[in-house]
Every structure is written in C-alpha cells, then in structure tokens.
A and B are shown apart, each in its own frame.
Chain A
Amino acid sequence: MPFTIVPTVNLVEINNVNFAYNDRPVLKGMNMQIAKGRVVSIMGGSGCGKTTLLRLIGGQLQPAVGSVKVAGEIIHELGHDELYRMRRRMGMLFQFGALFTDLSVFDNVAFPLREHTDLPETLIHDLVLMKLHAVGLRGARHLMPSAISGGMSRRVALARAIALDPMLIMYDEPFAGLDPISLGVIANLIRRLNDALGATSIIVTHDVEETLAIVDYIYFVSEGVVVAQGTPDEIRASKLPFVHQFVHAEMDGPVPFHYSGEPYARDIGLDERGS
C-alpha cells in the first residue's frame, strides 16, 4: 500500500493559550491547529508573540492558561525526561542559526547525532555529509562558523535541525537579513526537506512573498490572537484590513505608523501657544 500523509490529523494544537512576560501580556486566548505534513506559517508584526509561540511549542516557556499539544501530548505537563524525549523529535532553526562557534560546520551537524546516538564515527561521518549535501554545503564542512556567511550559517543550522529526522521543524525568522539568492535557497529547502522527511514545518516570519510561495496555510497574529487564517490564495485575496496592510506593506492601517502617545499638537506645545 503506498504511503500517504493524512492531512486532517493535527500534530500541534494550541488551545486558548494565554502568556505574559511579567506584566506584559503577549498571547491572549490563542488558538491554532497545525496539520501533520503541512508547512504552516505564522505571520505578524515584530513583537506580536510569534517567537513566543515557538518557545511554547518547544516547551521552553509554559502558558499561564490553556494547553499546547504536540503529537497528542500536552507539552507543559511533561516531566524533564519526557520533554527532552519529545524534543528529540523536533528540530528548530533559530533566527541567526545559533551555531556553536567553537565547533566546525561538520561538528555542529554531528552534535545531535553524537549526543543522542551511539553510532560509530564512520556512520556519523556519512550521515553528516548527507545532511550537508542536502543543504548544498558538503564542501564547507571543515569551515568554522565565523568563516561562513549568514545565509550559509542558516543552511548549516537547517542541516543540524534535521540531523535526527524530526517530525516537526520550527523556523524562527528564517529569511531575516538574507540576500535574495540565499532567501530563495532557504525557502526552497524548507519546502523540499519537509516533503522529503515527511515532517511538519512551522515558519514564523514576516516576509510575505517568499512565505506565500511555499506554505500550505497561514495564520496572521496580532495583539496576541489569530486575526486571520487561510491558504496563500485566500490570504492574497483577503479584504481584511490587517491582512491587506500586511500583504501590501502599507505604512498605516490597523497597525498604526505612530506609537500611541499624547496628541502631536499638545506634545509640541501648540495648545498653550494658541490659547
């Protein structure tokens, strides 16, 4: 029987999650379902809680209210060992790669394999080269992280994130600060690797065009809640003011250009002078 991915099964479920940093609420009743095998993007302005969501899914933060389920398990109810077992099945690409600066490209990719398996060094060598080949950096294996570009760092980090063939890959701003070629390469890799590994991917980003081209579904987040969701075509056609402003990069709209404060005239003293 041929292998098929059943898209209706949710790998990640976020139910009514509230989260605050000290007194500053970030998520306010967030709901989200991410189906198995899909590439899903979470979009929104800077500071809207996108990265916080990834950290909640990875169990690095705990929600004040609500639940975060991954593969049927409530993440914040897992003990230390169970959480670490779950994380072995997740991969995460950090915004700037987060490569270990004291290890070479090869050793960075080999790191999770050496930590979690007892494989002989010859096999680790072959596996690492396969992963590096998948991201096009087999030839850069001897270089140190300080000797490679930002785009290459991101690709090495991607190879490291998929070293243990995870079921879920999370990307935190994978396109930030990349040139157009690197950006296209990363976008293409995210889609290809997800399909090749049979994994599920969550991309947190605010790069609209590159993301719409590769994802299956998009959630728009603003002020701690999902304000819009849909397939790329639905999002492009959306008339919702927030989505329209975001997709068309409009300066002013539901997300105001000016940070809230006193009226301008009062701030520069026109009120007093006029009276």
Chain B
Amino acid sequence: MNAAAKGIPDGLRVLGGWAINSVRRLGLASRFLWATLIQSGTSFRRFKLVTREMYFVGVYSLIIIIVSGLFVGFVLGLQGYNTLQKYASEQALGLLVALSLVRELGPVVTALLFAGRAGTALTAEIGLMKATEQLSAMEMMAVDPIARVVAPRFWAGVISMPILAAIFSIVGVFGGYFVGVVLIGVDEGAFWAQMQAGVDIFDDVLNGEIKSLVFGVTVTLIALFEGYDCYPTAEGVSSATTRTVVISSLAVLALDFVMTAFMVGGW
C-alpha cells in the first residue's frame, strides 16, 4: 500500500480498486473490439472460416432456441388468453403473442440463451487455446490469432444472433397458435388477421432484429474477450466462463432497456 492510500478507509479503497479495474477492462475490451474489426479482412476473404464457426455457434444453438421458443410461445398463449378473455379480447391473442416475441422476448431470451450455450463455449475454447499455448504457437507461426481465431468467431456470432432470434420468434408464434387456436379454440382467422394488421415490419420486426444484432455484437465480444484475456489456468478459464454469462446477461438486459426507450416512440 502506498503512503497516499493509508488514510483511506478499506471499503472505499476496495470500491476504488473495483472501479479502476472495471474501467481498465472496458478499455481493454474496446481495444480488443477495434483489433478484431481491423483484422477482419481474413474473415471476409476466407468466408469459409466464418461459416464453419456459424455451424458451431449457430447450428448447435438451434435445438435450445427452438425448444425454448416453443415453450415461451405456449406460455404466452396461455397467459395471454387468460388475461385477454377477461376483457373479451381473445381475438387479439395473435397480436399479443407476436408483439411480445418480436419486440422483446425473441431478441432478449435468444441473447440470454446464446450467452449460456455459445458464449460459454467460445470463452472456454479460446481460454483453453490460450492455456495450452495454441494462441502463442499461432503467433509464432506468423498467424495473427485475432485475425484467424477471434474475428471469424465474432462475425459468426454477430450473423447468427439475428437469425436465431427470428427463428425463436417464429417458433414462439406457432407455440402460441398451438395453445390458443388448437387447444383453447380461439378463432384462427382472428389470430392471424390481428397479427398481420398490428405487427409493423419496421417498428416491430426491424427494431427487434436491430436489438438482436446489438446483442450479437455484445455477447460475442464479451465471450471472446473473456476467453482471450483469461488467466491461462483451469481456474482462470472457469472464472472467465462464469463472467461471460454474468456480464453478458446484465449487458443484454441493460441494453434492452436503453434500446426500448429509444424505440418506444415509434410504437
């Protein structure tokens, strides 16, 4: 402890240390993003590298996205019908299910699931590559690991997320349809017609996709940065993986609020 820090209470010092460390890591993550962007040439010249990673982060996430979307749709159908029928508005069930999914649940739940499924896998993979000196070996072979390993995974995450969110919303709508129309007996024509009339391609669908694109950048960046920056031991990789889920989830929820606040004017 230096002389200047002696008079400061412990709690304040810990808080200060935490704040400085957080800002430092934010700065490192920004530099990491910048390096990834300027080293992205290889990813676009050899797009096969990106499609390969899309297979791992996107296709492997499909099952959890589809099953979750279906159940979220089921629940929306049930809850929505239960509330709407009190006001004799059960024909609006299709609209409620679609708007809930496209505007909010699709992008947000997909991002949270993506952080848990693909984000952790990315962190662990990069972290273990670091711990086993594979990244160093690549550097010594004159291959930049940011260009060869990080950037393709980054773009794979950024491209996959909006597609997964769209799949989540589509499956969710069919889940709501199954419970509302097939099981409960809401009028099928009203279910689809209200949805068609009330869902706007720009204000709702496009905004939802913009959200999921931002979440794609955020979650993938956090996952890759945590892996690349982790302490190269088993414990280091393990805590980096945990941080990926915690920080990604909080960032997604906070960003969702901020973006919704900007978008709500259009509704």
Contact = CB atoms under 8 A, between A and B. Distances in A.
Contact of B142 (A94, A95, A116): A116
A23 interface: no
Q: Which of B139, B141, B143 has the most CB of A within 10 A?
A: B141
B79 interface: no
A87 B133 contact: no
A101 B134 CA distance: 9
A242 interface: no
A101 B132 contact: yes
Nearest to B133: A98
A40 interface: no
Nearest to B56: A102
A237 B132 CA distance: 38
Interface in A15-72: 58, 60
A116 B139 CA distance: 13
Contacts of A157: 137
A161 to B, nearest CB: 8
B143 A98 contact: no
Interface residues of B, number: 12
B141 A115 contact: yes
Contacts of B142: 84-88, 112, 115-116
Contacts of B211: none
A87 B143 CA distance: 9
A160 B136 CA distance: 14
A95 B139 CA distance: 15
Max count, chain A CB within 10 A of own CB: residue among B133, B134, B137, B139:
B137
B200 interface: no
B31 to A, nearest CB: 14
Interface in A77-97: 84-88, 90-92, 94-96
Contacts of A60: 136, 139-140
Contacts of B148: 115
B203 interface: no
Nearest to A90: B140
A91 B141 CA distance: 7
Interface residues of A, number: 23
A98 B141 contact: no
Contacts of B137: 92, 94, 98, 100, 157
B202 to A, nearest CB: 41
A245 B260 CA distance: 70
A96 B232 CA distance: 14
Given A98-B133, A100-B134, A101-B132, A92 B143 contact: no
B144 interface: yes
Nearest to A85: B142
B144 A84 contact: yes
Interface string B125-150: 00000001110110111111000100
Contacts of A58: 139-140
Contact of B141 (A85, A86, A87): A87
Most buried by A among B133, B134, B136, B142: B142
Contacts of A96: 132-133
A88 B143 CA distance: 9
30 contacts: A58-B139, A58-B140, A60-B136, A60-B139, A60-B140, A84-B144, A85-B142, A86-B142, A87-B140, A87-B141, A90-B140, A91-B140, A92-B137, A94-B136, A96-B132, A98-B134, A98-B136, A98-B137, A100-B134, A101-B132, A101-B134, A111-B141, A111-B143, A112-B141, A115-B141, A115-B142, A115-B148, A116-B142, A157-B137, A160-B141
Given A92-B137, A98-B133, A100-B137, 18 more contacts: A58-B140, A60-B139, A60-B140, A85-B142, A86-B142, A87-B142, A88-B141, A88-B142, A92-B140, A94-B133, A98-B136, A99-B134, A112-B142, A112-B143, A115-B143, A116-B142, A157-B137, A160-B141
Which 4 residue pairs spanning A and B have beta carbons closest together? A98-B137, A87-B142, A98-B133, A92-B140
